[in-house]
Amino acid sequence: MTWAIEEALRAPWIAVGWIVFAVALALTTRWIRYRHLAWQANVVALAAFIRTYTFNINLHEPFWPHVSLRLFTVGLVIAGAYVLAKIAADALEEFESVVRNAYTWAAALFVGLLIFAEAPHDWMSVFFIAAGIILALAGRRWNLPHLGFQEHFFAVAAIARTFDYNYHLTTYYGTFSVRILTVSIVAAGLYAISRRATDPDAPYALVSAYLHTTAATSLLAILMWYELSTGWLAAFWALFAFALAAIDRRFKLDDLRWQAHALAALTMLRSVTINMYVEETWHGLSVRLLSLSIVAVVFYAMSRLARMPDQWRARDFHHIYSWSASLIVSLLLWRELKPLSLAVGLAVFGLVLFEYGLLRRIAQFRYQSYVAFTAAFARIFFANLAAGEPGVFLSDRMITVAPLILIFFFVYAQLPASEENTSSDRRFHFDSFVAYLGTGALAALFYFQFPDEWVVTAYAALVFALFAAAWALRRPIFLHQGILLTLGTFARGMAHNLFGGSYLTGGNWSGRYFVVGSAAAILLSTLYFAFEIRGRYAPPANATRWKKITTALVARPEQLQFFVPVILVATMFALKMTAEWVTASWGLEGLCIVLLAYLAKEHSYRLTAYALFSLCTAKLFAMDFWRETFLERGIAFLVVGGVILAVAFLHIHFKDAFEYRR
């Protein structure tokens, strides 16, 4: 019969005749229950398949105007194969699965070959994915898992074809790019079928779904790479990642979540390595600015939106997004702003982050603000402090550094000890850190703003302000800073003003007496605040010895604030007075100290005065007595003698009026 069919029909129709004959044999088996006929049907079908593969698939003749003879005949063979998959398999119960698999795989193979041969080249991948979808849906409808497997092969074929061919298309379908249409359809097909291609109970169902959506996401991400200009890609990837994250949040699709994270990582990499260097413009606006702004906004949004495992979110891992966004904004500021403006830009950005973090109670935003503040502070040393015309008060330096100082102290003021919301900031000492940035910036500004010799006076004024702040605001940090800066003022006064002047020429008035004298006077005026806060920050009685030693200056600030100006002035007299006047000026200084000791009722001050008088007396007899002229000898003896008499008078007449603190 098979031979008769071959003889009777034209060559293109032989395979069709055989498959029809095989179907007839299989149907006959069902009616007469004679299983041998079923096996014969399988053999005839195999012959039909071989004939189709070797002959029909290569046909090029037309059949109807738009249908080729190949499409028609192979289509009929495929239909026959699916019919046989049902009836032949039913007839051979013990081999049902094998027979059904064999027929459907053969049919799928011919479908694939037919698409490869017949489909327009541009749309082949779409046909592949369409075939895959039909197979997957059919497999789920009739509970045939092997059809799902076949779908995987079609999906792979569609993806391979897209990579190999569709990305390189430049043609248009109407006004639409064929590349966009075809790749989007394939990606949409993959997304659509991802949850239906496999039986949900199958062990690899999740892997299959992940692979489908990952492939679809990759196709779309690569399509963007082809379609968009260099500058815009990162922005569109970011938006795509956001869309994935949003869908994941709505439908709880974990695979989309990880794809969103991966795409966001790629976006970050691209932003930093490529977008930062983009120079193109869009309607007069910088593409770098626009695209990276979009990326930053999307990343901030994703820090709230993106789903993560609970233990990750509990550890603030989702703030990788906000940190990345802040990094992008900071780098963008560096790119877009002028060198002089960057520090202000970073500080303003930090302020906005801080306020948002405070308002929304998000510690990570505040931490980012501290990093921005640190960067702004460091930046002033490279661009702002050395800027500005000499001698101009409202210079570039002043105008760009002053806002930073205001911002630092404003931020510090919002971190009070009682605030529950900011306890983590205080645990890491960010409050002290910001206060130090503020004072550091102010000290650096003074250092460059004032003439070199006046820096010591400016620092003394800053010490006064810090002590006043420590007293009025009851914040010990300002006391610490005041003490440190007092030591700095002392070092600067000694090294620069007293030992650092010119060896041969003047400058004594502006560089020494008045400047160092004014600095010493200002430091002495801080004694009022020092006495007011004396003991306020003393260590407890049971504190360790080491703790007591290290906090001694904080506990008794009036000692340092007294000894520093006294030593400065005494050294100034020793270095800059003419020989005969050194002892006399020390004596007068001692008298002033005695008066201060009476006023302050401070025993250590009085002892200092007495030590100075002893030094004067020793110097009188060891050195001054041997000077050449009477005038040289006389000045020292007269002044020191007068001073000691005055002190003795005071001591005798006002002894009972004063009680000394010890």
Partner 1 sequence: MKRTILFIVFFAILGVSLAGLYWSQRRAKSPPVSSNAILNMAADAQRDLTRVPMHFTRLSDEQEIVIGRELSERYALQQRKLNPEEEALEKYVRRVGGTVAAHAHRHLAYFFYVLPDHNMINAFSLPGGPVYIGEGMLDQMEMEDELANILAHEVEHIDHYHCVERMQIEAQLKNANLELMGQLLRTPLEFWQAGYHKDEEFEADREGVRLAVESGYSPYGAVTLFTRLDKLCNEYVIHARSPEEELSELAIQSLTGYFRSHPLPSERLEQINRLIAQENWQERKTQKPFHVEYEVHNGQFVK
Q: Which is nearer to partner 1, 357 or 557 (CB)?
A: 357
**Alpha carbon distance 224, 243 (integer Å):** 14
Q: Greatest CA span in the chain, whole angstroms?
A: 154
Look at residues 263, 270, 224 and name the one whose alpha carbon lies nearest to residue 246: 263
- Tokens at 311, concatenated: 């233990």
Task: Kindly state the smallest distance separating residue 379's Cβ from partner 1, in Å.
Answer: 9
**402 is a contact residue toward partner 1 (CB under 8 A):** yes
Q: Taking the CB of residue 60, how many other CB atoms lie within 10 A of it?
A: 8
- Report in angstroms how near the CB of residue 567 gets to partner 1 at its nearest: 14
Residues 304-333 that bind partner 1 (CB under 8 A): 331
* Token pair of 22 as six digits: 């095989």
Nearer to partner 1, 341 or 374 (CB): 341
- Whether 487 contacts 552, CB under 8 Å: no
The interface with partner 1 within residues 430-469 (CB under 8 A) comprises 444, 447-448, 452
Minimal distance in Å, beta carbon 523 to partner 1?
19
Side chain identity, residue 202: A
Spell out where 209-343 has E strands: 281-282, 285-286
Of residues 340-399, those binding partner 1 (CB under 8 A): 340-341, 344-345, 347-348, 351, 355, 380-383, 385-391, 396, 399
Tokens 């003991």 identify what position?
A: 535
Q: Which of residues 144 and 380 has its CB atom nearest to partner 1 in the complex?
A: 380
Q: Does 420 bind partner 1 (CB under 8 A)?
A: no
Binding-site string for partner 1 from residue 467 to residue 486, where x marks contact by CB under 8 A and - marks none = --------------------
Rounded CA separation 549/161 (Å): 78
Residue 168: CB atoms within 10 Å:
9
- Of 345 and 357, nearer to partner 1 (C-beta) is 345
Q: Find tokens 């800073």 and name the residue.
A: 481
Residues touching partner 1, count (CB under 8 A): 48
User: For the range 492-495, what are the long-range contacts, defined as Cβ-Cβ under 8 Å and sequence gap of 24 or more?
Assistant: 492/455, 492/456, 492/459, 493/456, 493/519, 493/520, 493/568, 494/568, 494/571
Q: Are 417 and 459 in contact (CB under 8 A)?
A: no
Output 113 or 413, the one with its CB closest to partner 1: 413
Q: How far is the CB of 646 from partner 1 (least distance, A)?
A: 35
Report which of 208, 78, 93, 72 is spatially closest to residue 140, judged by C-alpha positions: 208
Examine residue 337 and tell whether it contacts partner 1 (CB under 8 A): yes
Nearer to partner 1, 42 or 497 (CB): 497
Nearer to partner 1, 502 or 629 (CB): 502
CB of 139 to partner 1, least distance (A): 56
Per-residue DSSP letters for 51-69? HHHHTGGG---EEETTEEH
Q: How far apart are CA 139 and CA 295, in angstroms?
A: 42
Q: Does 538 bind partner 1 (CB under 8 A)?
A: no
Q: Tokens 């459907």, residue?
A: 104
Our CB check for partner 1 shows the closer of 69 and 387 to be 387
Each residue 490-529 as x (binds partner 1 by CB under 8 A) or -, in order, gives -xx--xx--xx-xxxx------------------------
Check if the beta carbon of residue 127 is closer than 8 Å to that of residue 186.
Answer: no
CB 244 within 8 A of CB 256: yes
Quote the least distance from Cβ 512 to partner 1, whole Å. Answer: 14
Minimum distance, C-beta of residue 180 to partner 1, in the bound complex (Å):
35
Nearer to partner 1 by Cβ, of 164 and 452: the residue is: 452
Q: Write the DSSP string, 150-185.
A: HHHHHHHHHHHHHHHTGGG---EETTEEHHHHHHHH
Residue 289 interacts with partner 1 (CB under 8 A)?
no
Q: Binder to partner 1 among 62, 145, 200, 339 (CB under 8 A)?
A: 339
Residues lying near partner 1 in the complex (CB under 8 A) are found at 331, 334-335, 337-341, 344-345, 347-348, 351, 355, 380-383, 385-391, 396, 399-400, 402-403, 406-407, 410, 414, 444, 447-448, 452, 491-492, 495-496, 499-500, 502-505
